[in-house]
Amino acid sequence: MSTTEGLLGRARAAEPADTIAGVAPGQVVSPASTAETAEVLREASARGLTVVARGTGTKQTWGAPPSSVDLVVDTTRMAAVVEHAAGDLIVHAQAGITLAALQETVAPAGQRLALDPLCPGTLGGLIATAGSGPLRYSHGAVRDLLIGITLVRADGVVAKSGGKVVKNVAGYDLGKLLAGSWGSLGVITEATFRLHPLPATSRWVAAPVDGATDADALVQAVVHSQTVPSAVELDRPADDPATLAILVEGTEAGVAARVAALRDLLGGTPEVRDTPPGWWGRPPVGDTLLKLTHEIAGLPRLLDALDTATARHGGRAAVRGSAGVGILHATLPGDAEAVRAVVAELRTASAAWGGDVVVLDGPPEVDPWGPVRGLDLMRRVKDQFDPEHRLAPGRFVGGI
Amino acid sequence: MADIPALAARLRAALGADAVIDDHTQLRTYECDGLAHYKVTPALAVLAEDTRGVAEVVRACHETGVPFVARGSGTGLSGGALPRADGVLIVTSRMRNIVTMDPANQRAVVQPGVINLDVTRAATPLGYYYAPDPSSQQVCSIGGNLAENSGGAHCLKYGFTANHVTGVEWVAPDGEVIRLGGNAPDPTGYDLLGAIVGSEGTLGIATEVTVRLTRLPESVRTLLAAFGGTDEAGAAVSAIIGAGVVPAAVEMMDALAIEAAEAAVACGYPQGAGAVLIVELDGPAPEVERQFAEVEARCRANGAFEIRIAADDVERALFWKGRKSAFAAVGRISPDYIVQDGVIPRTSLPVVLRRISELSASGGVRVANVFHAGDGNLHPLVLFDDSVPGQAERAEEVSGAILDLCIEHGGSITGEHGVGSDKAKYMPRMFTDDDLDTMQMVRCAFDPHGLSNPGKIFPTPRLCGEVPGRRKGVHPVQEAGLAEAF
Ligand SMILES: Cc1cc2nc3c(=O)[nH]c(=O)nc-3n(C[C@H](O)[C@H](O)[C@H](O)COP(=O)(O)OP(=O)(O)OC[C@H]3O[C@@H](n4cnc5c(N)ncnc54)[C@H](O)[C@@H]3O)c2cc1C
C-alpha cells in the first residue's frame, strides 16, 4: 500500500526483521507521542489496516500469532519520562521507554518501580503482557502498581483513566483491563506508576529442596512466618535438585534478624548471599515457555502432575518461579506433539491446584490459552473497543 | 412502564414471600444510603439469600426491562446504592456466610453481605486478617467494598480492595452467573475482575467474593504527634516518606476536627494542638524498631511539641478512636455537614490546605480537615446550618470548589467514597468526553441495556447500539471456528 500524506506517509516498508511471530507486516511507523499515535491509528482506521504495537519486541512470539499485520506501530520513539515526582513516589512515562531506563531515572532519588518481569522490555510491553517476577510477592502485579494509563483506541481516539495519585476511584479502571490485554484493546502510549523506596539492604537465603512435598512444606513455613520476605522463588532445573531462595529487604539490622529467623525456619545450612542466585528472575531456558498458576498450597500437586505428564514422554520439565505467589514458569522436554499432550493433560487436571496453564511461547499447533472463564464477556469487551478486530487480531484468547 | 406487581409475584414465587418487600413504609427503610439527603423509594426490594436468588431477580429485571440496584449495608457516601423509583433494590443483608477460611492459601471466600470486620474476626485466630479497613468496617459489607474499591487508613502500605480481591462469583446484568479468578493469580484472559472492582454496581452483582488474607504483623507501633499547625505536620509526613519509610498508616486531623473529636469521644489529644498526626508502623519487630525511631525523630525535627507512644492495644485504640469517629463527631459542633472526599499529590498538601482555609473564610462556612495524609486523600468536612438561609448552598459551593482544587493539583474527585449519584456531574472536570465514552464501552459490554445501577458514575449514558460488523483480516466465521478448534 502506498500513501503520500499524513504520518503513514512517513512509515517505512517492513523488513524481514520486523516479522511478528512468523507474520510479515506491511509497514512500520514510529510515532513520537500520543497525538502522533492517534493520528496513525486514525489513518489506519480509515484504511482498514490491522495493527500490532511493538516495543523492543522481546515478547512478540508470545501468545498466538496475529492473523494479519498491515502496520507495526513501533513505540520506541516514545521513550521519555514525562514526570518523576519523587516526593509523591510516582512516575509518568511514555510507553516506549525501557524498564531499565525508567529504573535509572528514578534510582537517584532512592526509588524503584517494584516490577522485575522475567523478560523486561518497554513499559508498554510490560503492561500489555502483565509480566511479573520475584517482587510480585511483596509488591503485586503491574495492575497493582499502575495508577494511570493513556491509550489510543483502534479508531484513533485517545482515552485515559486513573491519574497521578495513588488513591483514586473516579471512573472505571481501564488500566486493569489493558494490563494483560496483549495489544488487543488499544495502543498504550503513556502510563503512571506508583514507586517504592529502594531498600537499604537486600539479602538472599537459599536452601536445597528435596522434592515437591518438601518444597510445599518450606514455602508454607516461609509465607506463614513473620519474616516478611520480598520474594519466595523456586528453581528446579530439569536434571538437578531444586532450590528455594528467599529475598529479604529492609534496614541492615532488620534484615540480619530476619535472615537469622529464616535460617532457623529452613533448617540445614542455607546459603546467605548479598547477590541473587544466577537464575533469579529469569525464565527457564528452553524451546517452550509455560506459565503455570496455582493456589499457594497447590504447589506439590502441580509439580507432581507436571512430572507425571512429562515422564510419559521421557524427561522432566525445568521449573522456576514465584512459588509463594502461585506463578511458575516451565519449559517442557520433547517435540511439539509431546508439548501438546503434556499441556492437554495439565489442563484437564488443573482444578487440583486451582490454576491455569498458558503456553507463552511454544509450537504453533498448541493452543496458547486453554479454557477461559468469561470468554463471552471478553469478546463483548473486544467488540466494543475494536469492533473491526484490527488490533493484534487473533493474538489473544478465543481468537480475539 | 413495567408491571411491578407482576414482577413482585414472580419473585415471590421464586424466592419466597418474605424475600420480597413492596410495602411502601417498609420500602422507605431503603430510601437512602450514607448520603442521606438523596432519597428515592424503590418500587421493590428483594432480600436474596444466595446466588440463585440474585440471578433470578436480575434475570427477571433483564426480561422485563426493569432497572436494579444492589445494596450492601447502605453506608456508601456517594449515593451509590440510591434506589430507582421504577426499579428493584437487591439487598445482600441475608448473604452473610463466610464460606471458607483458607489460611494455607491465604484466602477467604465470603458472601457479599458479610461485614468487613467479620472477615478479620474470623481470620485472627488463624494468624491472619483482611487488610482493607474502611472506618465503617464494623458495618459495611464486602460486596459494597468491592463495588467502591474501598480504602482505609492502612491502605497506604497494603493497598485497596482491588489489591485484595482475587476472585468473584458474578451475576452479569442479563442474569448469567460467571466465576472470575479464584485462589490463584492471573486468570487467563482480560482482567475482568479488575474492571469489576470499583464499578459501583454498574456492571452486575457480586454474589461470592474471594479475598486475600494477610498475615497479622509481628509488631505494631503507633504514635500520636501534636504540632502547632498543619504545615508542620505536613512537613513531618514528607520527611518520613522521604526517609524511605512506608508506614502502615499516616493520618492527620486539624484543630477543628480535633475539637469535634474531643467533644464526641473525649479522646484526650494533646491540648493546644493545631494538628495531630497518627503514624503507625507494622511488620517484623526488628524493622519496626528501627523505623519507629526514624519516624519519631522526623516528627520532632519538624516541630512536634508532644509525642505519645501507644504502650498497648488499649492506648492504640484510643489514638484511633478520635480519628475513626471524626466524621460523626463533627455532628457535635455543627448541625449539618458535608463529608468531602478528594485526592491531591501529597506534596501539594500545604498549599491546598491553605487554599481550603481561604475558601472557608470567603464562603463563610467552617471546614474541618481529617485525612489520610500518607496518600493525599483529603476528607474536608464542610460545616453548615441548614436552618440559616443560604448556608447549605454556600457549603455546597465550598465543597465543590475543594474538588476543583484537587483537580487543579492533578488529583482526583474521589479517593474512596466513589462517584455514585453525587459526583457524576464532576466527572467531566476530570475526564474528557472521550475518556468517559471509552469507560462506558466497558459498561456496554457488560450491560448493553443499562439496567445495572443506571445513572451512577457517568453524567450521560452512552448509547451502546449495535457495533458495526465491518471486519478486517480473518472472517468472523473462520475466526470463531479457529477459536473452537483450540
Ligand atoms: C462513618 C463512615 C466512614 C466511612 N469510612 C470509609 C473509609 O474509611 N473508606 C472507604 O473507602 N469508605 C468509607 N465509607 C464509605 C462506605 O462505608 C464504603 O463505601 C463501603 O464500602 C460501602 O459498603 P456498603 O456495604 O455499605 O455498600 P452500600 O452503600 O450498600 O453500596 C455501595 C455501592 O456498592 C454497590 N453494591 C453493594 N453490594 C454489591 C454487590 N454485592 N455487588 C455489586 N455491587 C454492590 C451498591 O450498588 C452501591 O453502588 C465510610 C462510610 C461511613 C458512613
B210-261: pLDDT as tens digits:
999 999 999 999 999 999 999 999 999 999 998 999 999 999 999 999 999 9
Q: Please tell me whether residues A32 and A114 are part of one structural domain.
A: yes
Q: Please tell me whether residues A136 and A240 are part of one structural domain.
A: no
Q: Please tell me whether residues A179 and A87 are part of one structural domain.
A: yes
Identify whether A83 is part of a domain: yes
Report the SS3 class of residue A297: helix
Identify whether A120 is part of a domain: yes
Q: Which domain holds residue A33?
A: 1-198
Q: Please tell me whether residues A61 and A190 are part of one structural domain.
A: yes
Sheet containing A90-94: order of strands? A81-85, A90-94, A187-194, A146-152, A158-162
Report the SS3 class of residue B294: helix
Give B13→chain A minimum CA distance, Å: 30
Residue B73, pLDDT above cutoff 70: yes
- CATH code at position A295: 3.30.70.2740
**B4-91: CATH number:** 3.30.43.10
Burial call A59-95: b when 16+ CB within 10 Å, e when fewer = bbbbbbbbbbbbbbbbbbebbbeeebbeebbbbbbbb
Strands B214-215 and B128-129: antiparallel
Question: How much distance in Å is there from the Cα of B415 to the middle of ligand 1?
Answer: 13
A298 contacts in chain B (CB < 8 Å): 105, 183-184
Candidates B242, B283, B472; nearest CB to A48? B472
Interface test with B, best of A41, A158, A166, A190 (most B CBs within 10 A): A166
Q: Give the mean model confidence (pLDDT) for residues B9-32.
A: 97
Q: How far apart are the first and last CA of chain B?
A: 45
Cell 513516589 belongs to which residue?
A89
Say if residues A96 and A122 touch (Cβ distance below 8 Å). Answer: yes
Q: Please tell me whether residues A59 and A146 are part of one structural domain.
A: yes
Nearest CA in chain A to B426: A170
> What residues have CB less than 8 Å from A317, skipping those under 6 apart?
A238, A290, A306, A307, A310, A330, A331, A332, A333, A342
- CATH code at position A172: 3.30.465.10
Distance CA B418, CA B59 (A): 27
> What residues have CB less than 8 Å from A73, skipping those under 6 apart?
A29, A30, A31, A37, A40, A41, A51, A52, A53, A54, A187
- Please state, in angstroms and as integers, the Cα–Cα distance from residue B179 to each residue in A344, B142, B258, following that order: 22, 17, 46
User: Among A258, A232, A236, which Cα is nearest to A245's?
Assistant: A232
User: Among B318, B328, B356, which Cα is nearest to B231's?
Assistant: B356
Say if B457 is an interface residue toward chain A (CB within 8 Å): yes
What's the DSSP call for residue B115? B
Domain B98-215: CATH class, spelled out: alpha beta
Distance CA B26, CA A90 (A): 49
Q: Please tell me whether residues A137 and A181 are part of one structural domain.
A: yes
Distance CA B386, CA B379 (A): 20
Which one-letter amino acid corresponds to residue A137? Y
Residue B139 burial by Cβ neighbours in a 10 Å radius (0-12, 13-18, 19+): middle
Report the SS3 class of residue A277: coil
Distance CA B219, CA A250 (A): 15
Say if residues A130 and A367 touch (Cβ distance below 8 Å). Answer: no
Residue B397, pLDDT above cutoff 90: yes
Distance CA B411, CA B413 (A): 7
Give the pLDDT confidence of B40-68 residue by residue, as tens digits: 999 999 999 999 999 999 999 999 999 99
Residue B1, pLDDT above cutoff 80: no
Q: Please tell me whether residues A78 and A139 are part of one structural domain.
A: yes
Residue A175 burial by Cβ neighbours in a 10 Å radius (0-12, 13-18, 19+): buried
Cβ distance B345 to A390 less than 8 Å, yes or no, reads no
Q: Please tell me whether residues A207 and A188 are part of one structural domain.
A: no
Q: Please tell me whether residues A86 and A108 are part of one structural domain.
A: yes
Say if residues B158 and B85 touch (Cβ distance below 8 Å). Answer: no
A89 contacts in chain B (CB < 8 Å): 241
What's the DSSP call for residue A145? H
% residues pLDDT > 70 (chain B): 95
**B334-416: CATH number:** 3.30.70.2740
Predicted confidence at residue A3, as pLDDT, reads: 45
Q: Does B136 contact ligand 1 (Cβ within 6 A)?
A: yes
Say if B201 is an interface residue toward chain A (CB within 8 Å): no
Identify whether A278 is part of a domain: no
Q: Does B68 contact ligand 1 (Cβ within 6 A)?
A: no
Q: Does B77 contact ligand 1 (Cβ within 6 A)?
A: yes
Give the pLDDT confidence of A55-93 residue by residue, as tens digits: 988 888 888 899 999 999 999 999 999 999 999 999 999
Q: What are the helix (H) ranges across B254-345?
A: 255-265, 285-301, 313-324, 326-329
**Cell digits of residue B326:** 471524626
Q: Which residues pair with B44 in a beta bridge?
A: B88
What's the DSSP call for residue B65? T
Say if residues B414 and B365 touch (Cβ distance below 8 Å). Answer: no
**DSSP character string of A345-394:** HHHHHGGGTT--EEEEE--TTS-SS---TTHHHHHHHHHHH-TT--BSTT
- Maximum alpha-carbon separation in chain B: 76
Distance CA A247, CA A228 (A): 9
Distance CA B364, CA B100 (A): 53
Say if residues B214 and B120 touch (Cβ distance below 8 Å). Answer: no
User: Among A278, A330, A283, which Cα is nearest to A303's?
Assistant: A330
User: Among A286, A293, A349, which Cα is nearest to A315's?
Assistant: A286
A163 contacts in chain B (CB < 8 Å): 410-412, 430
**Cell digits of residue B480:** 470463531
> What residues have CB less than 8 Å from B329, skipping those under 6 apart?
B257, B260, B261, B263, B264, B265, B322
Give the range among A116-130, A132-146, B105-119, B456-470 with minimum mean pLDDT.
Answer: B456-470
User: Among A18, A23, A13, which Cα is nearest to A395's?
Assistant: A23
Rounded to 5°, angle at Cα A288 from A283 and A292: 65
Give the pLDDT confidence of B29-45 residue by residue, as tens digits: 999 999 998 999 999 99
- CATH code at position A252: 3.30.70.3450
Q: Please tell me whether residues A300 and A221 are part of one structural domain.
A: no
Identify whether A391 is part of a domain: no
Strands, E assignment, B33-148: 44-47, 68-71, 88-91, 98-102, 107-110, 128-129
Identify whether A390 is part of a domain: no
Cell 492495644 belongs to which residue?
B313
Predicted confidence at residue B328, as pLDDT, reads: 85
Identify whether A138 is part of a domain: yes
Asked if the domains at B98-215 and B334-416 fall in one CATH topology, the answer is no
Distance CA B94, CA B16 (A): 13
Predicted confidence at residue B316, as pLDDT, reads: 95
Total domains in the fold of chain A: 3
> What residues have CB less than 8 Å from B225, skipping those under 6 apart?
B233, B236, B276, B277, B279, B299, B304, B306, B307, B308
Identify whether A185 is part of a domain: yes
Predicted confidence at residue B381, as pLDDT, reads: 96
**Cell digits of residue B52:** 440463585
Sheet containing B88-91: order of strands? B20-21, B44-47, B88-91, B68-71
Identify whether A372 is part of a domain: no
Q: Which CATH architecture has domain B219-328?
A: 2-Layer Sandwich (3.30)
Say if B188 is an interface residue toward chain A (CB within 8 Å): yes
Burial call B402-440: b when 16+ CB within 10 Å, e when fewer = bbebbbebbbbbbbbbbbbbbbbebbeebbeeebbbbbb
Q: Please tell me whether residues A190 and A208 are part of one structural domain.
A: no
- Element holding B250 (H helix, E strand): strand B249-254
Alpha carbons within 13 angstroms on the beta-carbon side of residue A364 total: 9
Say if B346 is an interface residue toward chain A (CB within 8 Å): yes
Confidence tier at B466 by pLDDT (50, 70, 90): low
Say if A163 is an interface residue toward chain B (CB within 8 Å): yes
Q: Give the mean model confidence (pLDDT) for residues B288-313.
A: 96
Of the residues A198, A226, A253, which one is the last residue of a structural domain?
Answer: A198
Distance CA B64, CA B149 (A): 30
Low-confidence spans in chain A with pLDDT less than 50: 1-4
Q: Give the mean model confidence (pLDDT) for residues B99-122.
A: 98
> What residues have CB less than 8 Å from A322, skipping those under 6 apart?
A132, A133, A134, A136, A137, A231, A232, A233, A328
Q: Please tell me whether residues A83 and A209 are part of one structural domain.
A: no
Residue of B35, B46, B61, B140 best suited for mutating to test ligand 1, as the one with most atoms within 8 Å of CB:
B140
What's the DSSP call for residue B332? G
Which one-letter amino acid corresponds to residue B455? G
**Cell digits of residue B441:** 464501552
Distance CA B147, CA B167 (A): 13
Distance CA A264, CA A272 (A): 12
Of the residues A198, A230, A257, which one is the last residue of a structural domain?
Answer: A198
Say if B317 is an interface residue toward chain A (CB within 8 Å): no
Give the pLDDT confidence of A163-197 residue by residue, as tens digits: 999 999 999 999 999 999 999 999 999 999 999 99
**Cell digits of residue A52:** 500490532
Of the residues A273, A297, A326, which one is the last residue of a structural domain?
Answer: A273
